[in-house]
Amino acid sequence: MDIDLGHLRKPCVCGREHKLQVREIYVEPGAVSHLMDILENFQNPVLICDSNTRAAAEPFLEEEYKDYPVIELNPEGLTADNESVEKVLTQVDFCDRGCSAVPVDILVAIGAGTIHELTRYCANEHGIPFVSIPTAASGDSFASTVAAITWDGMKKTLPAAAPEWILADTDIFSAAPYKLTAAGISDVLGKYTALLDWRVSHLLTDEYICEEICEMEEDMIRDIRHELDDIRDGDKDAMEKLMYALIFSGLAMQMAGTSRPVSGAEHHVAHLLDMESGKCAKPVLHGEKVSVGLLLVIEEYKKLAGWIRAKRTVVQSETLKGLEYGLLEKVFGKETVLEEILAENTPNPLEDIDLERFEESLEKIADLIDDLPETEQLRNKMKKAGCITTLSEIQMTEGQKEDILHVSPYVRSRLTLLRLMKLIEVR
């Protein structure tokens, strides 16, 4: 697959000049053959992987695994949290001082979501570049400029380095377990609600938006929906399209200077579920949580559109703009986490909402919701593609659904329609 980044780096009709940190992207069989040429320009590269991703990639990277230091993590229970960050930073520091006369000057992430989150954070801490080698088409963070890390129980979005090179080798990622691929499909489809939330925020607050980026993301969604059967069958061209759609999410973040194009209420649900992951008997993939979040949020938005059309909605008074402290205290009982949640929501994104403008915009919001796929239609399509579609599949219960929908908007201070629905009374 030919990747031309030139058409993305340009002044745009949105009024901004879009910039990219990534230099080159290869999505093709044999993509990792470019790695040695890249590393020859550095003095002390370090590879970061876990034992599973090493097994997937080492047959294609035998020389690199022999020639360079390797930080190999235990995949059992491995998550992107502050403990894992400290482990990786400690080992990078050892490679910095104990293994070489020169500092570590480039990292190579060989893995999927967790390995990339840890590597991009550590690369940023050391002020060095990194190379991305995805071993599965499982998530949309490969080209991300931030790291989603659970820090002392609180899911945080932290500054991080974007990769300067992405070597997505079809022979490697297309052989990953299908469970990982299905999670990647869900992460792409999650852009449905992310883009709607961005447009609603622009409508109500004049927040910056780039419709060209939105349209490119929507093209990616359509392409992947058309390729679902071929992806399920392991068709390599279809798998490359999925991988590029996931990579493009990170490029969209770089172009927009914000994660708005890729993360909305569906990701806030996923982040809340990340914070509950320690209570799960089996690990749940990020994309699986996004999958559930997407369907829960679309269902709520479709209900809202129906209420608006039926003239049953009233935007409530200023008194409802405050934080639901009792609810937050009940859910986030741990004092440090509650303090972090309250800090995240200061200032409260609802405080500056013009209620009259919101009321006047309800019909336009309903029009935007009408452009979303119907919940059951999407659920059936995703189920056929092997995606997670129910709370029970991620070890949650239907009884937790209301709490998830009420609490998840507080995980981030970002304005979403789900957060705005706290200002609406249905009569």
Q: CATH number of the domain that 38 lies in? A: 3.40.50.1970
pLDDT > 70: what percent of the chain? 98
CB contact at 8 A, 254 and 12: no
Using the CB atoms, write b or e for 297-328: b if 16+ within 10 Å. Answer: bbbbbbebbebbeeeebebeeeeebeeeeeeb
Q: Looking at the predicted structure, is the pLDDT value of residue 334 above 80?
A: no
Per DSSP, the three-state class of 244 is helix
What are the DSSP E strand ranges found in 201-241? none
Q: Are 318 and 370 found together in one domain? A: yes
pLDDT in tens, 226-255: 999 999 999 999 999 999 999 999 999 999
Number of domains in the chain: 2
Give the domain range for residue 170. 1-176+210-259
Q: Which of 259, 294, 323 is the last residue in one of the domains?
A: 259
Q: Are 236 and 271 found together in one domain? A: no
Q: Are 129 and 222 found together in one domain? A: yes
Q: Are 188 and 160 found together in one domain? A: no
pLDDT in tens, 12-59: 999 999 999 999 999 999 999 999 999 999 999 999 999 999 999 999
Q: Are 219 and 355 found together in one domain? A: no
Q: Are 170 and 192 found together in one domain? A: no
Q: Looking at the predicted structure, is the pLDDT value of residue 115 above 90?
A: yes
pLDDT of residue 226: 97
Q: Which of 219, 243, 259 is the last residue in one of the domains?
A: 259
What pTM was estimated for this model as a whole?
0.95
Q: Find the mean pLDDT for residues 174-194.
A: 98
Q: Looking at the predicted structure, is the pLDDT value of residue 281 above 60?
A: no
Q: Looking at the predicted structure, is the pLDDT value of residue 99 above 80?
A: no
Q: Are 45 and 188 found together in one domain? A: no
pLDDT of residue 321: 82
Q: Are 232 and 314 found together in one domain? A: no
Q: Are 224 and 236 found together in one domain? A: yes
Q: Looking at the predicted structure, is the pLDDT value of residue 2 above 90?
A: no
Q: Are 275 and 389 found together in one domain? A: yes
Q: Are 332 and 253 found together in one domain? A: no
pLDDT of residue 143: 97
* CATH code (residue 192): 1.20.1090
Q: Are 203 and 240 found together in one domain? A: no
pLDDT of residue 3: 85
- Mean pLDDT (the chain) is 94
Rounded distance, CA 313 to CA 254, Å?
37
CB contact at 8 A, 371 and 199: no
Q: Looking at the predicted structure, is the pLDDT value of residue 100 above 80?
A: no
pLDDT in tens, 348-391: 999 999 999 999 999 999 999 999 999 999 999 999 999 999 99
- CA-CA distances (angstroms) from residue 82 to 79, 118, 376, 412, 423? 9, 9, 38, 19, 35
pLDDT of residue 277: 64
